[in-house]
Structure formats: structure tokens, C-alpha cells
């Protein structure tokens, strides 16, 4: 067990589970795929997905560099990320790198949208590539742990004990805790709450919510994985972090109304 601990400690930040993109895209929102409980069997696919993603991003940045932002659709970056099953492998093993990948994707997207120099897009691309490869290595390690029975099985749904509308209230409560922990100067703990809330609560309602407002889902995904973690990492003021949370909670209120409408529609049908 001591050697196992040393292995994990040596990896340190390497225990960041990176992203991959499959040739047969699987819808990433909603329930976690069962493949996350069979990592070893999926390693070949995950490796191919990482290479595929790196190639797709490089092609986009190259087109931007040669022809400008009108030649590319930066929204495709998010589509690539959300189209693959490895998305779940990262989330369920080490969520922080999931946020890092989102930050890399949006870094490229913002560079393109804002017509920044191509060098800036390349800088963000390098950071994304590093996270992807780092994460792939971490997933391979997780697969070894899983084979030895050292990882718990992942359940597809984390909100089985409450309604989806009640889940939205719980998410808002968790975000209040983020602000409280940050105010206590416990930035790492605050960040962990953000990641856990996304994985264990918001992911469980995405499937329903995306049917009602896909753009709202994308906004909240960015908030959970880019905007809020970055505000904490950048040591912004408590008021600034609270402002991010308040804006998120406003979006969550909108989301709750949509979910309640969907829940009512299901009841009316049955």
C-alpha cells in the first residue's frame, strides 16, 4: 500500500484525467456511460480519441492562422468535447483536469472569437494538448487500480434520491458553500466543492435540461468548469467570486423553471 501511495504522490498533478474524442461520438450529457467501470477495455479507444481531438484542434487553429476567424467555427470545439465517451472517464476519476480541458478549449475559442494573434491560440492549444496527454496517462493508471479492485464502481445517476427540481436547489446551496469556503481562505476546498457539485449533481439533470435549453446548459458548463474555478485560482476578491456564483444561481433558477415544466409535462402524460 505504501508503494501505491508513492505512485499516486509521484504523479501529483498528473492524476488529472484528460479528455478524448471518439470516432463514433456518444452523447456526453446525461447518465455516465458504463464504460467508466471498464477502463482497461477502453484504453485503446481513449488513446485514439486523444489523437483525434489533438488533430481536430490543430486543424482548426491552422485554418485560423492561415485564413482568419471567418474560416472556422469555434463552437465546434465544444461539440468535439461533448461528443465523446472519454468525457465521462475523466469526470468520474479526477474532475479537476476536466475543468482544465474546458479552460483550454475556451482559451482557444476566445482567442479565435476575439481575433487574437494566432500565437495566442497556439499557446492555449499547447496547454490543452498537455492536459489531454497528462489525463490519458492518469486514466491508464486508474485502469490499473480498477483492475486491482482499488476503485469503486461508478453509478450512472447521482441524484436518484431527489427530484431534479430539488437537485437544482441543492446545487445553489452548494454554490453558497463555495463562497463561504473561499471567504475562509480555503480555496482548494472551495474548488473541490465546485467540481463535486458539477459531477454529482448538475450532470444528473443535464439530460433533461439540454432538451429544454441547450445554450443554457453550455453556459452553466462553462461556469462550473472555467469561470468559477478560474476566479478562485486567480485569487479574485470574495465579492468577485460571489458575483460569479450569484450569476450562476440566476441561471440555475431559469433552469429549475424549465425542469419543473418538463416534470409537469411528464406527470400530465402519465
**Closest listed residue to residue 224, CA positions, set 91, 114, 110:** 91
| Nearest-angstrom CA–CA distance, 22 and 81 | 10
The predicted-structure confidence for 6-18, as pLDDT tens digits, reads as follows: 333 333 333 333 3
| Nearest-angstrom CA–CA distance, 230 and 217 | 19
Which pTM does this prediction carry? 0.66
Give the mean pLDDT of 140-160. Answer: 76
**Closest listed residue to residue 80, CA positions, set 31, 25, 118, 134:** 25
Whether the pLDDT of residue 241 is over 60: the answer is yes
| Nearest-angstrom CA–CA distance, 122 and 53 | 15
The predicted-structure confidence for 39-55, as pLDDT tens digits, reads as follows: 999 999 989 998 999 99
Residues 6+ away with beta carbon under 8 Å from 141: 7, 11, 15
- The Cα angle at residue 91 between residues 88 and 97, in degrees rounded to 5: 125
The predicted-structure confidence for 185-223, as pLDDT tens digits, reads as follows: 899 999 999 998 998 899 889 888 998 999 999 999 999
pLDDT band at 161 (very low <50, low <70, confident <90, very high): low
Cα–Cα distance list, 2 to 7, 8, 9, 13 (Å): 9, 10, 10, 19
Determine the 3-state secondary structure of 94 from DSSP.
coil
pLDDT at position 32: 62
Amino acid at each position: 500500500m505504501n508503494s501505491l501511495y508513492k505512485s499516486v504522490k509521484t504523479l501529483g498533478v498528473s492524476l488529472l484525467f484528460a479528455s478524448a474524442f471518439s470516432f463514433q461520438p456518444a452523447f456526453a450529457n446525461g447518465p455516465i456511460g458504463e464504460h467508466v467501470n471498464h477502463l482497461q477495455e477502453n484504453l485503446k479507444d481513449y488513446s485514439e480519441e486523444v489523437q483525434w481531438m489533438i488533430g481536430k484542434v490543430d486543424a482548426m487553429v491552422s485554418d485560423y492562422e492561415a485564413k482568419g476567424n471567418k474560416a472556422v467555427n469555434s463552437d465546434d470545439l465544444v461539440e468535439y468535447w461533448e461528443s465523446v465517451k472519454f468525457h465521462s472517464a475523466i469526470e468520474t476519476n479526477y474532475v479537476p483536469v476536466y475543468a482544465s480541458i474546458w479552460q483550454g478549449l475556451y482559451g482557444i475559442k476566445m482567442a479565435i472569437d476575439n481575433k487574437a494573434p494566432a500565437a495566442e491560440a497556439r499557446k492555449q492549444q499547447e496547454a490543452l494538448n498537455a492536459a489531454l496527454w497528462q489525463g490519458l496517462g492518469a486514466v491508464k493508471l486508474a485502469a490499473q487500480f480498477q483492475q486491482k479492485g482499488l476503485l469503486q464502481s461508478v453509478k450512472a445517476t447521482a441524484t436518484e434520491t431527489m427530484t431534479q427540481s430539488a437537485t437544482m436547489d441543492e446545487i445553489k446551496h452548494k454554490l453558497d458553500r463555495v463562497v463561504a469556503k473561499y471567504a475562509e481562505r480555503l480555496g482548494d476546498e472551495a474548488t473541490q466543492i465546485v467540481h463535486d457539485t458539477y459531477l454529482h449533481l448538475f450532470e444528473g439533470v443535464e439530460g433533461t435540461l439540454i432538451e429544454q435549453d441547450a445554450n443554457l446548459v453550455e453556459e452553466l458548463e462553462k461556469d462550473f468548469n472555467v469561470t468559477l474555478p478560474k476566479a478562485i485560482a486567480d485569487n479574485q476578491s470574495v465579492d468577485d467570486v460571489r458575483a460569479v456564483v450569484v450569476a450562476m444561481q440566476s441561471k440555475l433558477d431559469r433552469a429549475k423553471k424549465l425542469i419543473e415544466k418538463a416534470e409537469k409535462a411528464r406527470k400530465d402524460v402519465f
